[in-house]
Amino acid sequence: MTLEHFPGIARLQFDPTPAVRSIAQCRPRFHHYNPSEIVAGRSMQDQLRFAACYWHTMRNGLGDPFGAATAQTPWDDGSASIENAKRRADAFFEFLTKCQIGRWCFHDRDLAPEGQTIAQSERNLDQLVAHVAQLQSATGHRLLWGTANLFSHPRYLHGAATSPSVDVFLQATAQVRKALEVTQALGGEGYVFWGGREGYDTLLNTDLARERAQMARFLHIASDHAQSIGFTGVLLIEPKPHEPTTHQYDSDSEATLNFLREFGLFGRFKLNIETNHATLAGHSMQHELAVASAAGSLGSIDANMGTSGLGWDTDRFPTDVMLTTEIMLAVLNMGGLKQGGLNFDAKRRRASFEPVDLFHAHAAGMDAFALGLKAAARIRADGRLHEFVRARYESWDAPLGQSIRAGQLTLAQCAHEATKVAVVAPASARQELLESIVNDIVFTSDR
């Protein structure tokens, strides 16, 4: 890391003074994210465990279906050479350091070019892994999770584990075996399975039962392998309903948890919940987190957001403070992120193409999460919501309610008890009042 790939950009600092009047003079900095500040008993950096992703940050030229790439990447000569790949990694670690982002995530193919054979691809990856291992020890940045790209290469056009061809399944096993091993070698705290093409485009050509069973077999042997090599990271599945496929088998938290239970995989995997995938599934992020958390299966978060009304995974940076508040409330309620993190699986808009926009974008997301963390901590400290929910279910904690919960009463006994209740008097759920209390707490004070 001798070269300065981001000249003129200093390490971002916490600086809460009001922004300068002219946007042209704005230098990237944190207005709210103060890494060492204690919130809810831990430093912000430990609560938030930010990660940047290699794919959007380094490999996304920001092209769209209607236009060419726009991102300025002076460190990248566009070649598939190992030298270029190493220079890109240097730029990425400089970016992490300057942006004060402690962790990162990658796909095997983001980091190193694919070769003509499996052996060649593995040699390429090994060279880059050795290089980033040095960068990690020089900078102190850690790998949150690794993954294998089982969706870009044309061989995966029908799916990887769910391909109708066993040869493709085999290719996917080779890639995952290697990706798991390099993730372990880099000290990864997790490993993600995102089945981009593990679904169907039309049922006219698809044996859904077979494909789901194949996917389960794949996850069984992959998790067996992780165990056999002594991988101590958490294995994560990242649900998404569709895009690129019409329907993906791990479509949301509930479907994925059901899939894991059906095939004897529950407990081996946790979920990596991505905001924009939740909205694509027609759910709120809050819902997806609540479902995963209730099953003890909330592992990590891909922190981004969608664009309402657009049915795409637009992967915007998460700048909505109500959203980050809801996310951090779910995280604090489950006792913190543990081995997980907040991975910015997010990309700049195509028109934000300058290198400095990478810093503005991540700082915007980090500030929004700092605000969300503080607001969530205030909601918990305030206690009114928690108390309201507790009181709402109070009857279940009285002796009769407890016996029913413990399975001590039959339906007939319950029906007999019903006759003893003179008046059934439901209480108001006070939704609008609660929403107003949340607004008061979120917007009254941010520090």
Cite the active site residues. Answer: 107, 110
Residue 194 is a binding residue for ligand XLS (CB under 6 A): yes
The CB-of-408 to ligand XLS minimum distance in angstroms stands at 46
Give the 3-state DSSP-derived string for the chain, with helices as H, strands as E and coil as C: CCCCCCCCCCCCCECCCCCCCCHHHCCCCECCCCCCCEECCEEHHHHHCEEEEHHHHHHCCCCECCECCCCCCCCCCCCCCHHHHHHHHHHHHHHHHHCCCCEEEEEHHHHCCCCCCHHHHHHHHHHHHHHHHHHHHHHCCEEEEEECCCCCCHHHCCCCCCCCCHHHHHHHHHHHHHHHHHHHHCCCCEEEECCCCCEECCHHHCCHHHHHHHHHHHHHHHHHHHHHCCCCCEEEECCCCCCCCCEECCCCHHHHHHHHHHCCCECCEEEEEEHHHHHHCCCCHHHHHHHHHHCCCEEEEECCECCCCCCCCCCECCCCHHHHHHHHHHHHHCCCCCCCCEEECCCCCCCCCCHHHHHHHHHHHHHHHHHHHHHHHHHHHHCHHHHHHHHHCHHHHCHHHHHHHCCCCCHHHHHHHHCCCCCCCCCCCCHHHHHHHHHHHHHHCCC
In whole angstroms, the minimum distance from the beta carbon of 293 to Ni ion comes to: 18
Distances, alpha carbon 159 to alpha carbons 167, 171, 177, 196, 248, in Å: 12, 11, 18, 8, 10
171 binds, among Ni ion, ligand XLS, none (CB under 5 to 8 A by kind): none
The 258-277 site mask, x for binding ligand XLS (CB under 6 A), equals ----------------x---
Residue 274 in contact with Ni ion, rule: CB under 5 A: yes
Residue 197 binds what, of Ni ion, ligand XLS, none (CB under 5 to 8 Å, by partner type)? Answer: none
Q: Are strands 199-200 and 247-248 parallel, antiparallel or unpaired?
A: antiparallel
What is the size of the binding site for Ni ion (CB under 5 A)?
4
Taking CB positions, which residue lies at the least distance from ligand XLS? 194
CB of residue 150 to ligand XLS, shortest distance in Å: 9
Which one of 94, 313, 326, 367 is in contact with Ni ion (CB under 5 A)?
A: 313
User: Contacts with ligand XLS in 375-434 (CB under 6 A)?
Assistant: none
The smaller minimum CB distance to ligand XLS, of residues 345 and 357, is found at: 345
Q: Show the site string, 317-356: x = touches ligand XLS by CB under 6 A, - = not.
A: ----------------------------x-----------
Residue 252 interacting with ligand XLS (CB under 6 A): no
Residue 325 binds which of ligand XLS, Ni ion, none (CB < 5-8 A, kind-dependent) = none
Q: Does 345 bind Ni ion (CB under 5 A)?
A: yes
| Total of residues contacting ligand XLS (CB under 6 A) | 10
**Should residue 131 be labelled a site residue for ligand XLS when binding is judged by CB under 6 A?**
no
In terms of CB distance, is 198 or 345 closer to Ni ion? 345
Q: Does 288 bind ligand XLS (CB under 6 A)?
A: no
What is the rounded distance in angstroms from the CA atom of residue 233 to the CA atom of residue 339? Answer: 8
Comparing CB distances to Ni ion, the nearer of 105 and 257 is 105
Which residues inside 22-51 make contact with ligand XLS, applying CB under 6 A?
none
Contact flags string 95-124 toward ligand XLS, x per CB under 6 A = ------------x-----------------
Closer to ligand XLS by CB, 184 or 248: give it.
248
Instruction: Report the partner that residue 147 touches, choosing among ligand XLS, Ni ion, none (CB closer than 5 to 8 A by kind).
Output: ligand XLS
Q: How far is the CB of 288 from ligand XLS (least distance, A)?
A: 13
Is residue 250 within the footprint of ligand XLS (CB under 6 A)? no
Query: What residues line the site for ligand XLS (CB under 6 A)?
Result: 107, 147, 192, 194, 238, 240, 274, 302, 313, 345
